[in-house]
Amino acid sequence: MKTVLAIRHVAFEDLGSFAPVLAERGYAIRYLEAGYDDLATLDPLADDLLVMLGGPIGVYEQDAYPFLGDELQLLQARLQAGRSTIGICLGCQLIAHALGSRVYPGGTKEIGWKPLTLTDAGRAGPLAAFADQTPVLHWHGDTFDLPAGATLLASSDRYPHQAFSWERHALALQFHIETTAPGLERWFIGHACEIAGTPGLNVPALRAATADYAAVAMVRGQQCLTAWLDQLAP
C-alpha cells in the first residue's frame, strides 16, 4: 500500500478534505506532530507522498523552533530525489526556503476568502479547478520569493506568489484548499488571538464567508488534488 506522511504543526490544521481523496487512491495516512515527534530520524524518502501542513510560525524562527531545520532537511532530500511532496501555507514557505528562496513577513496579513489569479501554467494544471474565481481561504502574514526554476501558478491582489510547482513532483500552496466548514470552527478557536488582534477581522464575518464559499472550495480542492495525483502517474 502507498503511504502518505502528513507533518502537522497544530492539531486543527490537518489534511481535511484531502484525506478521503488520498484514502480512495490507496494511500495509508499517518501524521507526525512537529515539535513532538522526532523528525530528524525519519527516512526522508520512505513515504510515497509527504504533505507539509500549515502552522502559525515563520520559517525564519528556527532559533525558537529548531524542528524547522529538520523539516527543511527532509524537504531538501525529497525535492532532490524527485519524491512527491505538497506544502500548504507554512509548508509552501518551507518548500520555497528548501529551494533556496527567502521567506519573510509580508506587509499585511491576508486572512479570509478571496479568489486567485491563475497564471497560464496554473490554468493548464491542477489549479484549473479554481479558474472560475472560486474564493479560497487565505490565512498567512508571511510571503516568499519565487524559487529559481519554479513555475508560478497563482497570485492574489496582495501577494504575487501564492502557488508554485517544482518540476512535476512538488506542489506548494500558500492558501488553503484542504479545509472544511466544520473543521474551520476549530480554526476560529485556535486562532482566536490572531483574529481578535487583526483590524477588521471577526469570527462572525469569517463564519458567514465560510458558509458562502467553503462547500464549493472543498469540491474544487479535491478536484485539484485528484488532478495533481493523476499527473504523477508514469
Residues carrying an active site annotation: 89, 176, 178
Say if CB 218 and CB 180 are below 8 A apart. Answer: yes
Say if CB 201 and CB 195 are below 8 A apart. Answer: yes
Long-range Cβ pairs for the range 114-118 (8 Å, 24+): 114/138, 114/156, 114/157, 115/156, 116/154, 116/155, 116/156, 116/162, 116/163, 116/175, 117/154, 117/155, 117/156, 117/157, 118/153, 118/154
